[in-house]
A = this chain, B = another copy of it.
């Protein structure tokens, strides 16, 4: 029998009543010794994650940034994982959620593209988000706001409920994967001190192709020739992203028309 680990910061114990966590600063006293509270800690966490990445983030490092002892943070937060979950949801707050309630709405295709674009940008802007999304349940309030918007837009396609689940997965797991790789690639380039194009060419040139696959490697090279010929990596990635969305939207339309 495994020791029951907590499922999420956002999920209180269901065995008893749902009581609010006592540690949040509720303004009971105006001035706290160090001015610390969950808000401030979470903001500092996001800032540090942006600046140095998930791998280098530590509770001690964070405490240093806050001008406080490492253990002070533990008054406001149970574990490092809880803090990361808070930071994750805070970042999800940057997503631009389109209005899905107005009288006169753009078609679902347009809104789906908007949602995909804002999610992609978030993942690229904060490369540390992607491993955390994989690691936690992601049921924070900001995250839910986004999920709801996605569901509302997909509901307008005319797919059945079961198909809607598949379509949501299709589009947003794709964006997740795409943004993950893209974000990490940019981060790596920055770390190594190369531009994306330099890094790309260096990686292409650096490894020798085994003889037995020399011929289908030429095909791969043709696929990438847009970049080889001086086109830049960013432009190619935008193109590929658009093609993928076009393709998926066309696919949804086909499923819908088959239902009629």
Q: Please give the residue numbers on chain A whose beta carbons come within 8 Å of chain B beta carbons, in ascending order.
A: 1-2, 4-5, 7-8, 10-12, 14, 18, 130-131, 134-135, 137, 139, 141, 144-145, 147-148, 151-152, 155, 161-167, 169-170, 172-178, 180-181, 184, 188, 190-193, 199, 202-203, 205-208, 210, 213, 216-217, 219-220, 222-226, 236, 239-244, 246-255
Smallest beta-carbon distance A167→chain B, Å: 6
The residue that A243 contacts in the complex, of B147, B166, B217, B249, with Cβ under 8 A, is B166
Main SS class of interface, A = helix
Closest chain B CB from A237 CB (angstroms) = 9
Listed from nearest, the 10 A-B pairs whose CB atoms lie closest are: A166-B243, A173-B177, A251-B251, A170-B244, A247-B251, A2-B193, A176-B177, A250-B254, A174-B174, A177-B177
Report B-chain residues with C-beta under 8 Å of the C-beta of A155. Answer: 219
Decide: A169 near B241, CB < 8 A? Known: A151-B219, A207-B139.
Answer: yes
Q: Is the CB of A148 within 8 A of B217?
A: yes
- Report yes or no: A203 in contact with B1, Cβ–Cβ below 8 A: no
The closest CB in chain B to the CB of A210 belongs to B141
